[in-house]
């Protein structure tokens, strides 16, 4: 089958190569529509909503079954251009789209990735801001905010304090989008630094803020994900490529340690959408000259591909009752790393848990029944672009259709406000004390 697809690749349509320049909304739309028409078997183009000024928020899906979710196929996404003046990520995602579709059937690795993953790519979340930039600058441009002058990366609900700023159309569209798909892994692309930043961006003492950091229960996975991207980028893995006031060992940083922010998208994804998301700062200059774009593509191509592959780490499966019926909306968590908004199965009874190799106990909870425990051991490497598959059959009799549906899964309030420490990761250590001291003295 794979050989047949490789031969078929020789017969695939050929379109004009995307140039290395900045593509405004009409040009971007023309490119996306051309890709969708010429590669209709592996792509699906749709808009998730409109910006303040009525521009479409386009998403192109790349996958063997692009128009619908398939059981066992994880959903991945990239989002760029939240800040309209941070333009590199927007162009990188357009080139990534071109690379994926033209490599299908020609490159075995990309072909396998498309076979096993549904990849959602949004090149611009803030098209109005991008169009508002009249004179590109490295540090600040008028188009950072949307047309209502709101920063979209400060506009989401926050799990640590109330965020009372008016919710913007672009933000609302993304929040609705997150409710329609079972996203597992994501990254949002920015500019102005060179670092992979991981959650949390905001925090409370229970997440470690007394020690100048704010850690999730999945901190080991997030650090691994950030390092995966940074390690393949030759400039990002340097300690201080942009000569800023703070260094980033290995090219990664905890978001709160860098600088706290309220209403960020990556925290919202992790808490309310069950999607692990990191923030990728890809250029010291927010809006560099177009002549620099080829080098940005060369430096980020391998990282962009390798990061998508990480959607296949850990364990996945379905939860069934004793009659073999899939159970939606039941809680599926790993002991010792439970989330403040518990992760639940989707409408197909599926769960996806991103985990590093090791031994874990999965706890499945159905209302009215005792928790059901299942032991799993994650092998050192994922096999053939697939997480460990572990379906769980619950020993329950009778109908379970009384399981309540909830949308959203948890209330949109500061869930962490009154929470005590949730993980040993928040406890102090000598290393953390030294890092904190350095941060205080030299910030």
Q: What residues contact residue 442 under an 8 Å CB cut-off, 6+ apart?
A: 245, 246
Distance CA 179, CA 157 (A): 14
Active-site residue, 170 included: no
Catalytic residue among 91, 181, 281, 350: 281
Contacts 24+ apart (CB under 8 A), 28-37: 28/58, 28/90, 28/94, 28/123, 28/124, 29/56, 29/58, 31/94, 32/58, 32/60, 32/97, 32/123, 35/60, 35/97, 35/98, 35/101, 36/60
Residue with tokens 């979710």: 69
Distance CA 7, CA 108 (A): 11
User: Residue 32 to residues 95, 96, 144: CA-CA distances in angstroms?
Assistant: 11, 12, 24
Q: Which of 319, 310, 320 is nearest to 275 (CA)?
A: 310
Cα torsion 400, 405, 410, 411 to 10°: value is -140
Q: Which residues are known to be catalytic?
A: 281
């Amino acid at each position: 089958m794979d050989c047949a697809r490789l031969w078929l690749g020789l017969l695939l349509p050929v379109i004009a190569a995307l140039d290395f320049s900045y593509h405004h909304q009409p040009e971007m739309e023309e490119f996306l529509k051309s890709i969708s028409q010429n590669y209709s078997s592996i792509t699906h183009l749709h808009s998730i909503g409109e910006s303040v000024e009525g521009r479409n928020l386009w998403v192109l899906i790349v996958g063997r079954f692009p128009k619908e979710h398939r059981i066992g196929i994880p959903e991945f996404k990239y989002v760029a251009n939240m800040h309209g003046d941070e333009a590199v990520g927007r162009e990188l995602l357009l080139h990534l789209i071109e690379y994926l579709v033209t490599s299908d059937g020609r490159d075995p690795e990309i072909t396998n990735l498309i076979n096993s993953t549904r990849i959602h790519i949004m090149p611009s979340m803030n098209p109005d801001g991008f169009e508002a930039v009249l004179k590109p600058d490295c540090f600040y441009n008028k188009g950072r905010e949307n047309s209502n002058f709101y920063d979209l990366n400060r506009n989401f609900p926050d799990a640590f304090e109330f965020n009372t700023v008016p919710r913007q159309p672009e933000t609302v569209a993304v929040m609705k989008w997150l409710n329609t798909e079972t996203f597992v892994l994501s990254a949002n692309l920015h500019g102005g630094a060179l670092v992979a930043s991981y959650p949390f961006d905001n925090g409370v003492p229970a997440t470690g803020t007394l020690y100048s950091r704010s850690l999730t229960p999945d901190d080991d996975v997030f650090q691994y994900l950030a390092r995966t991207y940074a390690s393949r980028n030759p400039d990002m893995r340097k300690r201080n490529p942009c000569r800023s006031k703070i260094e980033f060992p290995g090219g990664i940083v905890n978001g709160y340690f860098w600088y706290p922010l309220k209403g960020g998208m990556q925290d919202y994804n992790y808490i309310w959408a069950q999607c692990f998301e990191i923030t990728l700062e890809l250029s010291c200059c927010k809006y560099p000259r177009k002549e620099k774009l080829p080098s940005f593509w060369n430096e980020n191509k391998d990282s962009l591909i390798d990061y998508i592959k990480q959607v296949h780490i850990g364990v996945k499966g379905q939860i069934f009752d004793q009659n073999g019926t899939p159970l939606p909306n039941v809680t599926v968590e790993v002991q010792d790393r439970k989330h403040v908004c518990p992760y639940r199965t989707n409408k197909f009874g599926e769960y996806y848990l991103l985990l590093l190799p090791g031994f874990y106990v999965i706890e499945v909870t159905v209302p009215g029944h005792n928790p059901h425990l299942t032991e799993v051991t994650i092998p050192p490497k994922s096999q053939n672009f697939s997480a460990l598959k572990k379906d769980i059959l619950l020993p329950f009799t009778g109908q379970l259709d009384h399981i309540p549906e909830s949308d959203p899964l948890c209330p949109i309030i500061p869930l962490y406000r009154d929470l005590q420490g949730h993980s040993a990761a928040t406890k102090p250590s000598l290393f953390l004390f030294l890092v904190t001291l350095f941060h205080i003295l030299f910030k």
